[in-house]
């Protein structure tokens, strides 16, 4: 198999044809011309050549059939509704997923992101859902080992791999049944798109997700889908720089007096480091988390940075950070900062962050 940058650059591109572009532009259509018999090719909620190419690309990256959605949460909701009930959800994961289960009437059991606790809650469940690394606590779970145990209980394993991206951490080949990803983050990487996707190990599961999407209409717009495919070409290059910056920053923060705890799976001191080193392809993610003494200190830090935008979300080419507890979604300390490294020069980024900390 070729390297990940090679795969990202070439994924889903049509065969060369004289006079045709490398990546054909978006097709905008509600109905298509369709004479005679009914066909899904007749209507834009069922089929679009721009998504189809993007989904071919995602399938190559994921190693299984993929379906695009209008946002990460639309993808998560599809997985919960199609495979869930009861579903075991991690209590330190992206908080909106539990809310979506509740609003969808999908029975959910919350458990800590710890294999023993997840498995204890999984008795009689249809689906176990994990994030790895979790957002924002950056807990790492061994997907391969957990998949074996979940399957032994007769349940399916879904992995939300948004933070790592499936290019670095191929959840399906590690044994997950379903990979669910918010493509609003590093996958597209420019902080200008809302998208998501679901990939499955089996064609049968993918067909059920497609049927859900056909009926609920949670489809991506063709222009967004095209931009996502265009962005995929630079994914490996972006991630390599972002993760190198994150490791440099985490190492610098680890020695700073104002910081009480630094979490980054790439640091040998992180409890999930060995597992992360095995399953994340050497790319430990763009996100570094650390704790400052108080909410006020965290706010002063954020306004003192000049290269790090105060903003939610992560994975973009511009560095950004936020005081995560402001959302009240996850149990994190008041001074907890989630910082996402962009592709700025490492020296500039580290100097900016350390400068802001020194000014506290």
Residue from 66, 194, 233, 341 touching ligand PLP (CB under 6 A): that is 194
Position 285 contacts ligand PLP (CB under 6 A): no
**156 or 287, CB closer to ligand PLP?**
287
CA dihedral 138, 144, 145, 146 (to 10 degrees): 60
Both structure tokens of 301:
């830090």
Q: Name the minimum Å distance from CB 165 to ligand PLP.
A: 11
**71 or 191, CB closer to ligand PLP?**
71
**155 or 218, CB closer to ligand PLP?**
218
Q: Name the minimum Å distance from CB 142 to ligand PLP.
A: 18
**Cis ω on the peptide bond leading into residue 136 (within 30° of 0)?**
yes
Position 184 contacts ligand PLP (CB under 6 A): yes
Q: Name the minimum Å distance from CB 306 to ligand PLP.
A: 25
Both structure tokens of 205:
């599961």
Considering only the stretches 77-85, 180-188, 322-330, 338-346, report the one whose residues sit in contact with ligand PLP under the rule CB under 6 A: 180-188
Tell me the site size for ligand PLP, rule CB under 6 A. Answer: 14
Q: Cβ of 14: how many Cβ atoms within 10 Å?
A: 13
**Helix residue ranges, H only, the chain:** 4-10, 49-62, 72-83, 96-104, 115-121, 143-152, 203-216, 222-232, 235-254, 273-279, 295-304, 346-358
Position 231 contacts ligand PLP (CB under 6 A): no
Residue from 65, 196, 272, 285 touching ligand PLP (CB under 6 A): that is 196
φ/ψ (deg, to 5) at 300? -65, -40
Residue from 162, 169, 191, 340 touching ligand PLP (CB under 6 A): that is 162
Q: Name the minimum Å distance from CB 113 to ligand PLP.
A: 12
Q: What is the footprint of ligand PLP within residues 54-113 (CB under 6 A)? A: 71-73, 76, 94
- How far is the C-alpha of 352 from the C-alpha of 287, rounded, in Å? 16
Q: Name the minimum Å distance from CB 135 to ligand PLP.
A: 4
**76 or 349, CB closer to ligand PLP?**
76
Q: Name the minimum Å distance from CB 238 to ligand PLP.
A: 17
- How far is the C-alpha of 349 from the C-alpha of 13, rounded, in Å? 35
How far, in Å, are 6, 7, 70, 180, 235 from residue 11 at the CA level?
A: 8, 6, 21, 19, 11
Residue from 131, 177, 224, 330 touching ligand PLP (CB under 6 A): that is 131
Q: Is 186 helix (H, G, I), strand (E, B) or coil?
A: coil
Residue from 160, 322, 330, 352 touching ligand PLP (CB under 6 A): that is 160
- How far is the C-alpha of 329 from the C-alpha of 90, rounded, in Å? 13
Q: Let me know how long the chain is.
A: 360
Q: Is 165 left (phi over 0), alpha (psi -120 to 50) or beta?
A: left
Where along the sequence are the contacts to ligand PLP (CB under 6 A)? Answer: 71-73, 76, 94, 131, 135, 160, 162, 182, 184-185, 194, 196
């Amino acid at each position: 198999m070729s390297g990940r940058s090679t795969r990202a650059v070439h994924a889903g591109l049509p065969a060369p044809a004289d006079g045709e572009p490398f990546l054909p532009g978006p097709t905008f259509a509600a109905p298509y011309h369709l004479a005679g018999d009914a066909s899904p090719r007749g209507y834009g909620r069922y089929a679009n050549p721009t998504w189809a190419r993007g989904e071919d690309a995602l399938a190559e990256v994921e190693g299984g059939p993929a379906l695009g959605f209008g946002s990460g949460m639309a993808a998560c909701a599809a997985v919960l509704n199609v495979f869930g009930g009861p579903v075991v959800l991690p209590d330190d994961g992206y908080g909106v997923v539990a809310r979506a289960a509740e609003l969808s009437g999908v029975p959910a059991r919350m458990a800590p992101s710890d294999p023993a606790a997840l498995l204890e809650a999984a008795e009689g469940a249809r689906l176990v859902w994990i994030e790895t690394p979790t957002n924002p606590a950056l807990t790492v779970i061994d997907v391969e080992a957990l998949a074996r145990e979940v399957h032994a209980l007769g349940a399916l394993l879904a992995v939300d791999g948004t933070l790592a991206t499936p290019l670095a951490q191929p959840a399906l080949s590690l044994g997950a049944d379903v990979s669910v990803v918010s493509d609003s983050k590093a996958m597209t990487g420019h902080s200008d798109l809302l998208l998501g996707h679901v990939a499955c190990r089996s064609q049968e599961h993918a067909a059920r997700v497609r049927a859900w999407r056909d009926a609920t209409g949670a489809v991506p717009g063709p222009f967004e889908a095209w931009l996502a495919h265009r962005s995929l070409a630079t994914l490996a290059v972006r991630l390599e720089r972002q993760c190198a910056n994150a490791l440099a920053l985490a190492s610098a923060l680890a020695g700073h007096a104002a910081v009480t705890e630094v979490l980054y799976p790439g640091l040998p001191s992180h409890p999930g480091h060995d597992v992360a080193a095995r399953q994340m392809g050497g790319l430990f993610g763009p996100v570094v988390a650390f704790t400052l003494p108080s909410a006020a200190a965290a706010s002063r830090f954020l306004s003192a940075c000049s290269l790090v935008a105060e903003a939610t979300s992560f994975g973009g080419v511009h560095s950004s950070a936020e005081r995560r507890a402001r959302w009240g979604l996850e149990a994190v300390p008041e001074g907890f900062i989630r910082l996402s490294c962009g592709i700025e020069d490492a020296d500039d980024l580290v100097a900016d962050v350390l400068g802001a900390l020194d000014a506290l």
